[in-house]
Amino acid sequence: MMIKPLHDNVVVKPIVEEESTKSGIVLPDTIDKEKPEKGEIVEIGPGKMLKSGERVPMSVKKGDKIIFKKYSPEEIKIDNEEYLIINESDILGVLEK
């Protein structure tokens, strides 16, 4: 089962990266670490509807790897998998290879 987001929302699979030292010791996340979150878009909504009835197309697409504001997403669980629902305006950028 998958969720189809409405308006200008996207469904994101979070990318969890572990930080480690040069010697290979994995560092845990700490509360004072404030950095943007990363994820991969798995579903996108149709876009924002303007008052005129015209729909603004999304500027991101399925499969894009993005960074987004830390406290903006809504967390959901589907089939024991964690996903995030994020408004397009809370996406800070698309990661390019």
Question: Which tens digit of pLDDT belongs to each residue from 46-66?
Answer: 999 999 999 999 999 999 999
pTM reported for the whole predicted model: 0.78
Provide, for the chain, the percentages of residues in helix, strand and coil under a 3-state DSSP scheme, each rounded to the nearest 5: 5, 45, 55
pLDDT tens sequence across 3-46: 899 999 999 999 876 666 667 666 665 544 555 589 999 999 99
Q: Would you list the domain boundaries of the chain?
A: 9-15+35-95
d(CA 61, CA 42): 9
Q: How far from the centroid of its chain's Cα atoms is residue 16's Cα?
A: 12
What class has domain 9-15+35-95? Answer: mainly beta
